[in-house]
Amino acid sequence: MKKIINNPTHVVDEMINGLVRAHDDLVYRVEGTDVVARNYEGHDKVGLVSGGGSGHEPSHAGFVGQGMLSAAVCGAVFTSPSVDQCYEGIKVANKGKGVFLVIKNYTGDVLNFEMAAEMARDDGIEVAQVIVTDDIAVENSTWTEGKRGVAGTVLIHKIAGAVADHGGTLEEVRQVAEAVNKNLASLGLALHPATTPESGKPGFELAENEIEFGIGIHGEPGYRREELRSSKEMAKEFYDKIKAYLHLEEGQKVVVFVNGMGATPLMEQYVFMNDVLDLFEADKVEVAKKLLGDYMTSIDMAGISLTVLKVDDDKWLDYINHPVETIAW
């Protein structure tokens, strides 16, 4: 294992310190915690909190700032943050109008954020949530009951954050986030597994000529392993599954989001995007917004994911285009 780290045990602590020192114009570390919060106060607006295990950078701390998250809770690598850490994130995000939680559907994340929400409610803080379930690869997998939450989470950060920034109520934020979640579909694949700092070895094995379809962002199993295929073939498989799931038809507006998994060159991401856009164009599905880059990674995994948002309300596009001040958007 070759990584630019010191002691693997301290990697998250040192990463958070480096992040807030590099971007101290936007964020700070809540003293005594692993919570990254925004400098922007956002008084009398709904606060947004997300988080989870580290290793998915820039998610989630990279999306803390005006117009998106109020705070991000950073767990250990691929490990849910504790109840106490989630509670601290909720408290710092509360600016008088309640706090909305964006939780990826992993058992530890859901349990710990929901327990923290109950603690916050006991303090008189109003809390609501969405559990993101955009991964359509498998119904149940490691650490989940039901569909996993993956890169589509970032689009919920963006849209819900814009609703809050516009002065929306906690219930309005919840309603929009739930509607967006129902119209999201994601699929990912791995060319090479991730290596966590403490283990020092890949999380699973793939032969040199193998890929795995439907992989999770922690290296959870997908739905098929086979020999490497062309970008066009991989794009077609994902496109067909997502099109069927979302019931996409001619004239439908969509947001198309190609996400790198951490070690995938931009050259390859653009090739994949080109192939994906050809498929939408052939079916006359209108691509109203395109996103590409490393937003929800898996440390150093080589791979890619495709997320599609079926736009049922044109306001969602306005929210995605709403200006923000964050590290990574």
Cite the active site residues. 56, 218
CA distance 62 to 104: 16
CB count in 10 Å sphere of residue 82:
18
DSSP string, 47-106: EEEEEEEESSTTTTGGGBSBTSBSEEEEEEETSPPPHHHHHHHHHHH-SSS-EEEEEES-
CA distance 285 to 274: 15
Beta strands 35-38 and 27-29 are antiparallel
How many CA atoms are closer than 13 Å to the CA of 29, on its beta-carbon side?
Answer: 16
- Within 8 A by CB and 6+ apart from 251, the residues are 284, 285, 286
CA distance 213 to 149: 16
Opening angle at CA 297, ends 189 and 217, nearest 5: 55
CA distance 9 to 198: 7
DSSP H or E segment with residue 14: helix 11-22
Long-range CB contact pairs, 279-282, < 8 A, 24+ = 279/235, 279/236, 279/239, 280/239, 280/254, 280/256
Handedness of CA 52, 54, 55, 56 (dihedral sign): positive
How many CA atoms are closer than 13 Å to the CA of 180, on its beta-carbon side?
Answer: 30
CB count in 10 Å sphere of residue 114:
16
